[in-house]
Structure 1
Amino acid sequence: MRKLTAAFLAAGAVFAAAPALAADMPFYPPVIDVPDVDYGVSGSFYLRGSAAGNALWSKEAYAWDCTACGATQITVPVTAWGYGYSVGAGFGYETGTGLRFDATVDLVNNSGLTVTHPASSGWRAGDYKVNLRSTIALANAYYDFSFGGNYGYGAAGGAFGYVGAGVGAAFNDISVSGPVGGPTVPSGQNTSLAAAGMVGVGYDFGTIVADVGYRGLYINKITNSAAPPDTAWTDNNWLHEVRGTVRYRFN
């Protein structure tokens, strides 16, 4: 009986002391999982390289006709496209919001733009073919937009499309080959306004971004800059390109 009474008394003491013991124990708050904050895509610098096939067209060409040793300007139709290629490189920055900017330099080769000249006192009738080498320097701006996912711009990864525009200068070097027996047209150089519009699609792999697209390149004037009656030139020239480009991000 004494043992049973002692057991009850001990149990009562434990229950009486429990609140005080609980108050002395440290409190650990429940663990809450906080999702990572998505800060979006940060800006980054990049290098780019491009290669393209091109086709050159101009509506008409101009020359001086030596009539009785007096130079008279004449208009001559362009009858065939010129074809060629280009390679280029550039450096740029993408903001992470879809906008990006770069400066590019392209080396253009194009041959075969054909001017069909009528018979005149200064020219032999026949086809005159223009061979163009040009260095194109442009400052460009683009907007990338995503084709899917939860992102609003291509720089976030995956497939994307883009539109862009550029402005700069073309440094042209031309030579002209004419019909057998015709006059020799002097080679020459000129500098002209250049502008471009771009559209295309690509895929963002992370560090590497690849795209393929169209660039319409406007060259205001191509001429050999010779004195009359040896001057030959074309205005409002369009170089149509299909280009592939690879970009490498630094960060």
Structure 2
Amino acid sequence: MNKLIAAVMVAGAAVVAAPALAADMPYYPPVIDVPDVDYGVQGAFYLRGSAGGNGLWAKEVSHPSGVPDTVFATDDWGFGYSVGAGVGYETGTGLRFDVTADYLANDELSTTISGSANIANGQHKLELRSTILLANAYYDFGLGGGGYGAAGGAFGYVGAGAGVALNNVISHGPGLPDTRGDNTSFAAAGMVGVGYDFGQVVADIGYRALYINSVENDEPLLPYSVANVWAHEVRGTVRYRFN
């Protein structure tokens, strides 16, 4: 009986003393490890591929042999497509750079010749095949608080590029057989678009205004040139990052 009474007394003392002891003990809050926010892939190389449709426009065509007139206004757009690939580097600060090679095909840009003594009168149409080589720079900016197109976020971009266009042309029209020619010209581009960053893969869709300084037929019989040619393109692009 004495032992039982002693055990009850010890238990009671422990119940009374526990709150006092707990009050005297220092409190250490639990440590929660919060991972850093991912603001995008830093310093990544990437490969890219693009495809899109285009509309081609120029103000006029110059035909030196088209006496008495030598300059003829265009009267219809040309339509076609482009596909391309490139390699680039993104800094992780919103800036990225790449070099691209695109194959551009376009048909039906046309002019109507009338009153010429040396060129068959009627509608003449241009078939253009170009290889476009450009060095480009872009700035990506987050949409909806997504940082620099951070992984899992939407982004917008603007860009510009410069390089060369390697042009091959065929003209179709009444009179003489089709004429062919080649030339190399300065080219430049301005880009704007939106996309989504999935992390390893980035996809975007955008508009590119591609400027070709001159498209020429160097054939001696019926030479012609088309200055200040613009290709208005809507393109989709996929980038794959190498970390």
Find the counterpart in structure 1 of residue 237 from structure 2. Answer: 245
Q: Indicate conservation of the 8 Å contact 1:51/1:86, yes or no.
A: yes
Q: Which runs of 4+ in 1 moved over 2 A?
A: 29-41, 183-186
Give the distance between the partners of 1:95 and 1:142, measured in 2 at CA: 11
Find the counterpart in structure 2 of residue 219 from structure 1. Answer: 212
CA deviation digits over 1:44-91, x for unaligned, max 9? 011000001011000000012265xxxx77101100000000100000
Find the counterpart in structure 1 of residue 157 from structure 2. Answer: 162
Letter in 1 for 2:90: E
- CA separation of 1:66/1:148 partners in 2, compared to 1, >3 Å: closer, same or farther? closer
Give the distance between the partners of 1:79 and 1:115, measured in 2 at CA: 5
Letter in 2 for 1:123: I
C-alpha deviation, 1:153, in angstroms: 1.3
Find the counterpart in structure 1 of residue 177 from structure 2. Answer: 184
Q: TM-score, normalised by structure 1?
A: 0.81
Alignment of 1:117-136 (within 5 A): 117-136=113-132
Find the counterpart in structure 2 of residue 230 from structure 1. Answer: 222
Give the distance between the partners of 2:29 and 2:80, measured in 1 at CA: 70
2:97 maps to 1:101 = yes
Find the counterpart in structure 2 of residue 4 from structure 1. Answer: none
Alignment of 1:26-105 (within 5 A): 32-33=31-32, 35-38=34-37, 40-41=39-40, 42-65=42-65, 74-105=70-101
Give the distance between the partners of 2:101 and 2:202, measured in 1 at CA: 19
C-alpha deviation, 1:186, in angstroms: 2.6
CA deviation digits over 1:221-250, x for unaligned, max 9? 0001123x5111100000000000011111
Give the distance between the partners of 1:212 and 1:66, measured in 2 at CA: 42
Letter in 2 for 1:50: S
Letter in 1 for 2:78: G
Aligned alpha-carbon RMSD (Å): 2.5
Q: Indicate conservation of the 8 Å contact 2:38/2:150, yes or no.
A: no
C-alpha deviation, 1:30, in angstroms: 7.7
Q: Percent identity?
A: 56
CA deviation digits over 1:189-210, x for unaligned, max 9? 0000000000001111111111
5+ residue gaps, structure 2, are 1-27
- CA separation of 1:156/1:100 partners in 2, compared to 1, >3 Å: closer, same or farther? same
Give the distance between the partners of 1:167 and 1:95, measured in 2 at CA: 20
Q: Indicate conservation of the 8 Å contact 2:201/2:239, yes or no.
A: yes
C-alpha deviation, 1:154, in angstroms: 1.0
Q: TM-score, normalised by structure 2?
A: 0.83
